């Protein structure tokens, strides 16, 4: 009887290793473990296996949907080369997501086949913002703006301060760009 029970427990543990996730669920992977800090390579479950999200077309809308699916407010930054920052494991399925940004989960977004997105070097990632993150990217006051990553001080990726965290603008019209330029002390956007 003890052998049968032991064998049954072994089978159960084996099943959980192979089928360790529910299709459609999302997690963040960060250098060898599941991230609880709200940043990492985006992985989603498909047929019981964790897959890296493909970086093709990965942008603010997709990042925001992934973070909201995980219970955060949204994304402060998205990474198209997440493997470089967080590492990755497993397989990047050959599908990429295209979201409007209003979806509640990545499975609600459309997805398309992309042959080249098959290795971990094509992994997408996020830095989420919200109550549950341990984000240390502090900023002085809500509403302030900054540019990062540009060749000069007057160019780069625009971020704004929200509840003490720098958040990347997903889309910016001419009116918003003009306001940001003035706020940074530059001439209006042209």
CATH class of 20-129: alpha beta
Distance from the Cα of residue 79 to its chain's centroid:
7
pLDDT in tens, 9-55: 344 333 333 357 999 999 999 988 888 788 999 998 988 888 888 88
Higher pLDDT, 178 or 190: 178
Q: Where are the domains of the chain?
A: 20-129, 145-183
Q: Which residues pair with 104 in a beta bridge?
A: none
Residue 72 pLDDT class (50, 70, 90 cuts): confident
What does the pLDDT read at residue 137?
A: 57
Maximal CA-CA distance, the chain: 81
Per-residue pLDDT, averaged over 135-147, amounts to 72
- For residue 69, pLDDT beyond 90: yes
Nearest to 114 by CA among 44, 54, 66, 26: 54
């Amino acid at each position: 009887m003890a052998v049968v029970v032991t064998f049954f427990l072994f089978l159960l543990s084996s099943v959980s290793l192979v089928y360790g996730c529910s299709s459609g669920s999302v997690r963040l992977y960060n250098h060898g473990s599941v991230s609880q800090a709200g940043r990492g390579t985006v992985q989603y479950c498909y047929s019981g296996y964790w897959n890296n999200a493909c970086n093709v077309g990965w942008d603010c809308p997709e990042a925001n949907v992934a973070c909201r699916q995980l219970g955060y407010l949204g994304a402060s930054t998205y990474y198209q080369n997440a493997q470089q920052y967080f590492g990755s494991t497993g397989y990047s399925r050959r599908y990429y997501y295209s979201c409007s940004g209003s979806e509640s989960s990545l499975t609600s977004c459309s997805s398309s086949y992309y042959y080249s997105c098959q290795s971990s070097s094509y992994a997408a990632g996020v830095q989420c913002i919200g109550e549950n993150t341990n984000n240390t990217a502090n900023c002085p006051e809500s509403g302030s703006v900054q540019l990062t990553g540009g060749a000069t001080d007057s160019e780069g990726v625009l971020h704004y301060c929200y509840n003490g965290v720098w958040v990347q603008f997903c889309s910016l019209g001419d009116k918003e760009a003009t306001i940001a330029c003035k706020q940074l002390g530059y001439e209006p956007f042209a």
